[in-house]
Amino acid sequence: MNYPFVRHRRLRQSAAIRGMVRETVLTVDDFIQPIFVTYGSGVKNEIPSMPGVFHFSLDTLEEEVKEIVDLGIPAVLLFGIPETKDAVGTSAFVDNGIVQEATRVIKKRYPDLLVVADTCLCEFTDHGHCGMVHTYERDGHVCGDVLNDESLELLVKTAVSQAKAGADIIAPSNMMDGFVQAIRTGLDEAGFTHVPIMSYSVKYASAFYGPFREAADSAPQFGDRKSYQMDPANAREALREAESDVLEGADMLMVKPALAFMDVLRMLRDQFDLPLVAYNVSGEYSMVKAAAQKGWIDERAIVTETLLGMKRAGADIIITYFAKDMARWLREKR
């Protein structure tokens, strides 16, 4: 008797057949490589909590970007560490800001490489929050309330400045209410109607951001970001946040972090037809690197499986610090 279940097993016995019927495939075009840029000269400093990830000054940036281009990775995401910080994050929106200068360097040498500019104030404010803050003392402790509408004005200035410098995509990560509409209006009024917005639509107040905050020197100096980032316990709220961004004019939606929120990725994929971005964040990266250095896991196998999971859950684009590694592994596989 021919039992039907045997047919599934037959499809797995040949590597060639497995490849033909594989439902989810990673390609180098799926990835965006984040880069941390800073001031100075000759700077290429490895970030202690993120092995293999570096701070680059403008003069060392070209070598990194050349490697990314040679590997076929189509886009980079720029984060800047400024020379000076103040209460309103002025260095984020001045025309000679570090992200703006890095964008000009990249686009001059590699015009076809997509530059995604992270649009937030946390790296540029002396208090480490993503917007303007009204501070006060309570029981001997410094406290603060984020000023949402005032922050929007500064975020618009930042986005317009980044677009003027040549950024191909604006990626606002601040989670202020109404930020997509404000930035879309500001870009359009400045003549950048063609520049899309990759919205950090669903950004959780996550413990997975620790290494990034070291890399970007952006940890809050008081309080936390739970008043404007999402509670990790909430999934239905993600649909409301994403829908709001869609209505305000977002061109792409993002879920951050990705690994612990695969269900949210799938929910957004099922609900919206915009391109969906998964951010494989610093904590996810560092955990794998640390375990691999101990010899406890097979790094290549774990990374491949993790990124496949994100794409299978619905991601069209994956921002990952493993982008260069994956590009090399995919090339070797060919």
For the question of residue 289 being annotated catalytic, the response is: no
Catalytic residue among 203, 289, 311, 324: 203
241 is in an annotated binding site: yes
120 is in an annotated binding site: yes
209 is in an annotated binding site: no
For the question of residue 203 being annotated catalytic, the response is: yes
* Residue 151, amino acid: S
State how beta strands 114-119 and 133-138 pair.
unpaired
130 is in an annotated binding site: yes
Catalytic residue among 85, 157, 256, 324: 256
Binding-site positions for Mg(2+): 241
Residues at the binding site for 5-aminolevulinate are 213, 225, 282, 321
Residue positions forming the annotated binding site: 120, 122, 130, 213, 225, 241, 282, 321
Residues with catalytic roles: 203, 256
